[in-house]
Amino acid sequence: MTTQISAERILQLLAASVLLLIVLLFGFLMWFALPVFFNPQTSVLSLHWQPEQGQFGIVAMIAGSGLLGLLALLLAFPIALGITGFCLLPRYRRPARFIRALIRLMAGIPTVVYGLAAVFLLVPLIRETFRTGSGFSLISATLVIVLLILPVMVMMLDSQCRPLAKELRMVSASLGFSDLQTLYHLVLPNARRAMASAALLGFGRAIGDTLLPLMLAGNAPQLPDSVFDSVRTLTAHIGLVLATENDSAMYNSLFAAGLLLLTISVLVTLLIRYMTSSAKATTEGSES
C-alpha cells in the first residue's frame, strides 16, 4: 500500500516538475523578451534587419516562417490525404503495407540528410531551371519541408482513419457502397477532425524546423516577392545570430523570436488537443 502511494507521489512529482519547467521557460523568455518588444530605440517590430545600421526588425522573419509553414502545408496536405486514401482501399492492401513501412522509414530520416542532398541536387536544379536567383529560396526549403512533414501527417491521418474504415466496412457493404464510395462519403467526412489535427501537426513541425531553412532558404532578411526569393525564418534567425555578443540588441531580438516560436507551438498543440478530445467526445456521443 505504502509503496503504491510513494510510486504515485513520484509520478505526480515528475509531472509537476515538467509543468514547472514549461512555466519557467515561458517566464524566462517573457522576462527577456518583453523589454525588447517595448524598447522604442531597437524596435523588433519593424521590417528592417540591418544590424550594422542599428535596425533589428524581425517582421520579415515572422513572415518567412509563416509563408514557409503555409506553403508546405498547402503542398503536403493533399498528398498526405491521397496517400492515406490509397492505403485505405482494400484492393491495395499489399502495396499499402509497403507504403506504410516506407512512410515510417521517412519519419526517421535525420533532416540534415535531406538538407545536404537538397543543397547538391535541388538548389542547382531550381537555379538553372528558373534562372531567377541563387536557388537558395523559399521554394527549395518548402519542397524539402514537405518531405519532412508528409510522414507525420500520413501517420496521424492513417491511425485515425483505419479504425474508422474497419468500423464502417460492414455497414457500407450492406448498403452496396463501392470501396471508393465508402472512402468518399463515409470515411473522409467522418475524419475532418483528424485532418485538422494532421494539418496543425504538419504546420507546427514546418515552422519549428531549423536546419532545413538554414541550409536551403537563403536566410535573406526580406519579404519575398516570389517563391524564388531568399527568405529567413525565425528558427534560422536564432541559429544565425546566437553566436553574437551577449546583451547586444541583436542578441536580445532572439528572445523575441524565441517567445513568438514558443507561443505558436503552444497554440498549435492546444488546438490539436482540443480537436482530438472533442472528436472523441462526439464519436462517443454518437455511439451511445
Partner 1 sequence: MRLKFRFIKLLLCSVLAVPAVGMASELDRFENLSGTLNIAGGTAHIPVMKQAAKTIMSANNDIRITIAGGGSGVGAQQVAKGLVEIGNTGRPLKPGELKYGLLSFPFAIDGVAVIVNPTNPIQQLSSQQVMDIYSGKITNWKSLGGEDRQINIFTRDEASGTRSVFVKKLLNKSPVSTQANVVPSNGAMKTAIARDPGAIGYSSVGYIDQTVKAPILDNVLPTNEACASGEYPVVRKLYMNTKGQPQGLTQAFIDYIYGPDGAEFIREAGYIPVGH
Cα–Cα distance for residue pair 66/182, rounded to 1 Å: 36
Q: Does 141 bind partner 1 (CB under 8 A)?
A: no
Nearest distance in Å: CB 206, partner 1: 20
The helices-and-strands tally (H runs, E runs) of the chain is 11, 2
Of the candidates 248, 229, 197, 195, the one whose C-alpha atom is nearest the C-alpha of residue 63 is: 229
In terms of Cβ atoms closer than 10 Å to its own Cβ (0-12, 13-18, 19+), residue 15 is exposed
> Which residue's CB is nearer to partner 1, number 88 or number 249?
249
C-alpha cell at 213: 531553412
How many chain residues interact with partner 1 (CB under 8 A)? 38
Provide the residue type at 90 as one letter.
P
* Phi, psi dihedrals of residue 231, rounded to the nearest 5°: -130, 160
41 binds partner 1 (CB under 8 A): no
Q: Does 127 bind partner 1 (CB under 8 A)?
A: yes
CA distance 46 to 189: 43
- Rule CB under 8 A: choose which of 241, 256, 260, 279 binds partner 1: 241
Residue number with CB closer to partner 1 (6 or 248): 248
Confirm or reject binding of residue 115 to partner 1 (CB under 8 A): no
List, in sequence order, every beta strand (DSSP E) within the chain: 49-50, 55-56
CB of 259 to partner 1, least distance (A): 19
Site for partner 1 in 199-218 (CB under 8 A): 214, 218
Q: What is the nearest approach in angstroms of partner 1 to the Cβ of residue 227? A: 15
Among 3, 174, 247, 284, binds partner 1 (CB under 8 A): 247
The CA–CA distances, whole Å, from 178 to 22, 30, 83, 169, 192 equal 49, 56, 19, 10, 21
Instruction: Please choose, out of 177-185, 194-202, 229-237, 255-263, the segment that lies near partner 1 by the rule CB under 8 A.
Output: 229-237
Residue 243 is a binding residue for partner 1 (CB under 8 A): yes
Phi, psi of 56 (to 5 degrees): -125, 45
244 binding partner 1? (CB under 8 A): yes
**From candidates 72, 85, 143, 229, binder to partner 1 by CB under 8 A:** 229
Would you tell me which residues interact with partner 1 (CB under 8 A)? 48-53, 60, 119-120, 123-124, 127, 131-136, 214, 218-222, 229-230, 232, 239-248, 250
